[in-house]
Amino acid sequence: MALSWNEIKSRATTFSKEWQDESREDAEAKSFWDAFFNVFGITRRRIASFEELVKSLMAKAVLSICCGAANYWCSINHDAEV
């Protein structure tokens, strides 16, 4: 269920007050992100799975670009092999 803007605003205010004095960034990183995403009513796991999909797609895109560049290089240098 989607949150109303008033609910998000209320959660954001609570979040900012809870985290305003935090100084142990490494120790509290997961807790911070859990609380931050909760402002919008989503879980860190949902975001993490999306991040993995993006990383996978980016890796495929980079591989595709590299193969295309290698094929182009070979086409202009007929004696070269990939």
Residue 14 has pLDDT above 90, yes or no: yes
Assess if residue 82 is contained within a domain.
Answer: no
Range of the domain at 70: 5-76
The model's confidence at residue 82, banded by pLDDT at 50, 70 and 90, is very low
The pLDDT tens digits of the residues spanning 18-70 come to 998 888 877 888 888 889 888 988 887 776 665 666 667 677 666 666 555 55
Q: Is 63 exposed, middle or buried (0-12, 13-18, 19+ CB in 10 A)?
A: exposed
Considering Cα of 13, then 17, then 20, then 22, what sign does the dihedral take?
Answer: negative
- The total number of residues written for the chain in this structure: 82
Assess if residue 55 is contained within a domain.
Answer: yes
Contact assessment for residue 34 and residue 47, using Cβ atoms and an 8 Å cutoff: no
Q: Indicate the number of domains in the chain.
A: 1
